[in-house]
Chains A and B, each alone.
Chain A
Amino acid sequence: MNVAESMIKCLELEGIDTVFGYPGGAILPMFEALRRSKIKHILVRNEQSAVHAASGYARVSKKVGICISTSGPGATNMITGIATAYMDSIPLIAITGQVRREFIGKDVFQEVDILGATEPFTKHSFLVTHADEVPTIMAKAIKIATTGRMGPVLIDIPSDVQLEEIEFKHIKEVEINGYKPTVIGHSGQLKRILKRVHEAKTPMIIAGGGVLLSGAEKALTQFAETRKIPVVNTLMGISSYPMDSPYYVGVLGSHGDVLCEEVVKNADLVIVIGARMSDRATKNFSLIRPEANIIHIDIDPSEIGKIVNYQIPVVGDAKTILEYLNEKIKPNEDEYWLKQFDFQRAVVEYTDLAKGDCVNPKHFLNEVSRRLTADAVVTADVGQNQIWTAKHIQYSQNRKFLSSGGLGTMGYSLSAAIGAKLASPEKMVVSVMGDAGIQMLLGELGTLSEIRHKVIVIILNNNLLGMVRELQDNAYGKKSHFGIHFSISPDFVKIGEGYGIAGRKIESNSEIQSVLDEAFQSEYSFIIDVRVSPEVDSL
């Protein structure tokens, strides 16, 4: 068996049924091995999309996402996708072809130092120079990507190595000297947490993406409900806690809910779980008071004390720690604190938003939300649409929200939706984007058409870069817009038709119901081009 075949075989044995890629000269043996395997290969239109699709696949399937490209430009196109996955701790393996070993460093055709280029935003990377190391490298790559704080791993493999014959081995357990992630929290710290939780009168939880990555949703619910603790999500934490729960407060941060800030300010104990307390979640760190009682649970020791030294840091896996705490905590019957902010919860009057001719995106998404199945997956892009999709669709622990939170990569939504759909074809998948985001990786409509699975693509089309418009408003005053208008507004329904995807435009509120009916009943993918008012702000 050659190296390429043994790598593909290893992925098969790991339960990978779909990979995303784009072939080229330096990765031909891998594609030949793929052709002869049971794994489905999804040909994307740009390597960046392969990484986003693998990310969507990983986030829904809970398996490692795999994306494959050739050397040189194939590899460099992946860079944005890899950085996106790194910021959001998504478990991926990117396999890139490399020029033959004897040519490395000679600036030959399609040679690039992709290891060097991606070094700052891969969890780890390998340049394979000896064929016999491949089984170990595969085992290490999978372990590194999927354990501890998850993240993308890159394997750069010269084309001549791919062809070398080796003895196939599927290594399941591998020891890595310098890699021993802490799963179980420090027992002394856990005891201190229990004491503080029982003493606290007005505690709160900030739940981040780590809760989802660790699969700690149920443990979180039990913890919050037993102690009657209100829960706030970061953007990445959305869908780690059901939004219709009386314990749920809202989304924290610069585009979040004001009530969340109130709860943070009045809390005598803040329990941060799987959140890195980014600038965006904390309004440039202004929401964190160093003197506050803060418990910080995170799998990554370097997140502890990166921004502020929290009072009780504990390194470990969110699920393991919450399950431990759940065994020890005593129920709290006092609802006083929960009731405090109950009446302050902002209620969005969608019927008011539905007045007027122009479609209000918040009202529109609320209508979409009502039609989603309980276990639908919604992917949001970046910009105003991300905030609207985060806040005007109801999520639960089954109905997932996927977006590029850390890097804020436009174009993520569509490819992530394709990956999510292939991971769980039985689930309803909706991709929300802006008119700018979809044009970043427009060709993926072709990929979507080819997969023959249904994704509803919603384009909130205001013909400009809406979030940048808001930033310019704030920074330079209204009417100081520059470089944000598209003078040509493409007909996305016609573009969809060109790719074999049906679609409809919505230009006024009165058209919403009939178009949504058609889209949700359609057997195939469907594009909804919604003309939204350019005046509407994200908040």
Chain B
Amino acid sequence: MNLYVLSVIVENEPGILSRVAGLFSRRGYNIKSLSVGETEDPKISRMTIVVSGDRQIVEQIKKQLQKLIDVIKITELEPDTSVYRELALVKVMVNEQNRPSILEVVDIFRGKVIDIAKESLTVELTGDQDKINAFVDMMKVYGVSEMARTGLTGLARFNS
């Protein structure tokens, strides 16, 4: 099972999210993450969908998505020719003793502390999924009390 990243340009119509989500569930495709937001044109949204499967399944997913009338364009974002980012907010349990070493790790990952309390701090981190996974693994040593991840979003690199 490999992961594939699809960038799907859709009409910003009500119901499009349920059409896409419904398609994945009823055809038995695995969706790892899905993020949606407006594009430069407010009538058009971009969905970034991370799917797992083999090549044949991904080709079928692309064709089935293309059949949805509100789907305008599908691009597969390949690692070499695209940039991906995900945003994660990670709330870590801290105490007086371990706080400096936690902050050191946050710094190494270029994270940002956006909330701090006596017993916890919340870190904002962007990066690709590997980076975020690595950071979360480091934080698990201290105790992650809560986490929110946006799922991947991405764009194809400029290609002249």
**Does A associate with B in a complex?**
yes
Q: By the criterion CB–CB under 8 Å, are A115 and B15 in contact?
A: yes
21 pairs from A and B in contact (CB 8 Å cutoff): A115-B15, A119-B15, A119-B22, A123-B69, A124-B68, A124-B69, A127-B14, A176-B69, A177-B72, A178-B10, A178-B66, A178-B68, A178-B71, A178-B72, A178-B73, A300-B67, A301-B63, A302-B60, A302-B63, A302-B66, A306-B60
Minimal beta-carbon separation of B98 from chain A (angstroms):
49
Q: By the criterion CB–CB under 8 Å, are A301 and B22 in contact?
A: no
**Complex Cα spacing A433 to B7, Å:** 49
With A177-B11, A178-B69, A302-B66 already in contact, the answer to whether A116 and B59 are too (CB < 8 A) is no
Give 13 A-B pairs besides A115-B15, A177-B11 with Cβ atoms closer than 8 angstroms.
Answer: A119-B15, A123-B69, A127-B14, A176-B69, A178-B69, A178-B72, A178-B73, A179-B69, A300-B67, A301-B66, A302-B60, A302-B63, A309-B56
Return the chain B residue nearest A124 by Cβ.
Answer: B69
Return the chain A residue nearest B64 by Cβ.
Answer: A302
Residues of A within 8 A of B56 (CB): 305, 309
Residues of B within 8 A of A306 (CB): 60
A144 part of interface (Cβ distance < 8 Å): yes
Residues of A within 8 A of B118 (CB): none
From B26, B59, B60, B71, A120 is in contact (CB under 8 Å) with B26
B124 part of interface (Cβ distance < 8 Å): no
Minimal beta-carbon separation of B104 from chain A (angstroms):
49
Q: By the criterion CB–CB under 8 Å, are B14 and A116 in contact?
A: no
**Complex Cα spacing A304 to B63, Å:** 9
B19 part of interface (Cβ distance < 8 Å): yes
Residues of A within 8 A of B69 (CB): 123-124, 144, 176, 178-179
Residues of A within 8 A of B10 (CB): 178
B86 part of interface (Cβ distance < 8 Å): no
**Complex Cα spacing A137 to B60, Å:** 29
Interface residue tally for chain A (C-beta within 8 Å): 20
**Complex Cα spacing A435 to B22, Å:** 37
Return the chain A residue nearest B68 by Cβ.
Answer: A178
Return the chain B residue nearest A301 by Cβ.
Answer: B63
Residues of B within 8 A of A127 (CB): 14-15
Return the chain A residue nearest B65 by Cβ.
Answer: A302
Within 8 A of B (CB), among A108-163: 115-116, 119-120, 123-125, 127, 144
Residues of B within 8 A of A178 (CB): 10-11, 66, 68-73
Residues of A within 8 A of B11 (CB): 177-178
B18 part of interface (Cβ distance < 8 Å): yes
- Name the 6 nearest CB pairs between A and B, nearest first: A302-B63, A178-B72, A124-B69, A177-B72, A178-B71, A301-B63
Minimal beta-carbon separation of A309 from chain B (angstroms):
7
**Complex Cα spacing A75 to B10, Å:** 28
Residues of A within 8 A of B14 (CB): 127
Residues of B within 8 A of A300 (CB): 67
**Complex Cα spacing A119 to B67, Å:** 13
From A119, A144, A301, A305, B18 is in contact (CB under 8 Å) with A119
Minimal beta-carbon separation of A98 from chain B (angstroms):
13
Return the chain B residue nearest A306 by Cβ.
Answer: B60
Residues of B within 8 A of A120 (CB): 22, 26
Residues of A within 8 A of B71 (CB): 178
Minimal beta-carbon separation of A404 from chain B (angstroms):
20
Minimal beta-carbon separation of B127 from chain A (angstroms):
32
**Complex Cα spacing A152 to B69, Å:** 13
Residues of B within 8 A of A144 (CB): 69
Residues of A within 8 A of B63 (CB): 301-302, 304-305
Q: Chain A CB within 10 Å — which of B11, B59, B63, B69 has the most? A: B69
Residues of B within 8 A of A302 (CB): 60, 63-64, 66-67
